[in-house]
Amino acid sequence: MRKTTTKLADGRELIYYDRDESVQRDARDRRPLEPAASFAEIRRDPVLGDWVTVASHRQARTYHPPADECPLCPSRDGRLSEVPAADYDVVVFENRFPSLSTDAASYVEGRDVPMQLGRPGVGRCEVVCFTADHGASFADLSESKARLVLDAWTDRTAELGGLPDIEQVFCFENRGAEIGVTLAHPHGQIYAFPFTTPRTSKMVASAVGHRARTGRNLFEDLLAAELADPVRVVLAGEYWTAFVPYAARWPYECHLYPNRRVTSLTALNEAERAEFPRLYLDLLRRFDLLFPGDDGPGVPAPYIAAWHQAPRHGGDELALHLELFTIRRTVGKLKFLAGVESGMDAFVNDVSPEAAAQRLREVAT
């Protein structure tokens, strides 16, 4: 892998990741951009104890542009984009409209009064473009390209996790307009948070409690239980296992775990990295075959793919894993969050996890 780091016209960092180590990346960003101010702040919810990000400047972000104005496609004569090069393998750059920013303290002051605790939203938000092909998806990638994306995620986890004030690095992909994606080009994002997210904090508490009660690791016991009774196992490799959780929240939800517990992408060994692309691409293609269209082929599934990895502090009991789920529950119908789900975080699933696993095993790839 060749990594080339450069700057965009407004000073944001852009990084090319190439399989060809001889490639030269010298294209310059010729757009007349001024540095953007980020007014991101984080506010502490005094009731739940969660940090909430307020980023009102994002209201002006790009929203469903036509394909010939896509800011994630390579630059062409007469159309300059966020990527100066005429082609690329994988590229990562700082978001132009970030929820968190390394210079937020220059624009936002902290607040420390009773019931109103606030801080500048210091962090970093990056965009990860998986391919230069606007009409493709992650599932269309070759195994070598998917491996390159994994290497990029790993590299960014290491670099962002070492920045001052960063507590957690979150790599994820939102796919499909139904999810709320505003740019159709195949891409994901990376958030470097200045706090541990609520979901991760809850997992840490569960794992610590399990260790105190049993003397064992929660996630190791969880994976062992699924393998012992594989009714919900979808794919099993030598180094990775994909299964539908026993208490899945979404109609079609699958978790992909390395069989050896590690806490971060950076801790995966070469054998685990080599096997991941095959299993993950297989899983994504199965999701796209869940809902057949009128002409037979599957209707692409809107999904969220999220990497869970340990925060900087207190996450030794966690296990790296990828969570993949779609909000489509059947042909032509989406899973909308009901009042008990949005209001009370008490999920109701319309599809049994065992039936979902069976369906994912049956669909041809």
Here the tokens at position 177 are: 């307009």
Q: What is the pLDDT of residue 295?
A: 62
Q: Are residues 313 and 175 in the same domain?
A: no
Q: Which domain holds residue 59?
A: 2-195
Among the candidates 166, 195, 224, a domain finishes at 195
Among the candidates 195, 227, 242, a domain finishes at 195
Its pTM stands at: 0.96
Q: Are residues 58 and 148 in the same domain?
A: yes
Q: What is the pLDDT of residue 364?
A: 72
pLDDT band for position 365 (50/70/90)? low
Top mean pLDDT of 13-22, 28-37, 356-365 is at 13-22
Q: Are residues 81 and 95 in the same domain?
A: yes
Across 269-273, average pLDDT? 98
Q: Are residues 157 and 273 in the same domain?
A: no
Q: Are residues 61 and 18 in the same domain?
A: yes
Q: Are residues 208 and 349 in the same domain?
A: yes
Q: Are strands 90-94 and 124-129 parallel, antiparallel or unpaired?
A: antiparallel
Q: Out of 185, 187, 210, 321, which one is annotated catalytic?
A: 187
- Give CA angle at 226 (223, 228), nearest 5°: 105
Q: How many domains does the chain have?
A: 2
Q: Are residues 23 and 145 in the same domain?
A: yes
- C-alpha 315/C-alpha 203 separation (Å) is 9
pLDDT tens digits along 8-27: 999 999 999 999 999 999 99
Q: What is the pLDDT of residue 36?
A: 81
Q: CATH no. for residue 262?
A: 3.30.428.10
- Mean pLDDT over each residue of the chain, to the nearest integer: 95
Q: Are residues 45 and 134 in the same domain?
A: yes
| Catalytic residue flag (residue 187) | yes
pLDDT band for position 250 (50/70/90)? very high
pLDDT band for position 249 (50/70/90)? very high
Q: Are residues 220 and 329 in the same domain?
A: yes
pLDDT tens digits along 316-358: 999 999 999 999 999 989 999 999 999 999 999 999 999 999 9
Across 120-149, average pLDDT? 97
What's 48-73 look like in SS3?
CCCEEEECHHHHHCCCCCCHHHCCCC
Q: Are residues 233 and 133 in the same domain?
A: no
pLDDT tens digits along 209-232: 999 999 999 999 999 999 999 999
Among the candidates 195, 220, 253, a domain finishes at 195
The alpha carbon of residue 348 and the mean position of all alpha carbons in its chain are separated, in whole angstroms, by 24
Q: Are residues 100 and 59 in the same domain?
A: yes
Burial per residue of 71-107, b for 16 or more beta-carbon CB atoms within 10 angstroms, e otherwise: bbbbbeeeebbbbbbeebbbbbbbbbbbbbbbbbbee
Q: Are residues 286 and 164 in the same domain?
A: no
- C-alpha 160/C-alpha 170 separation (Å) is 10
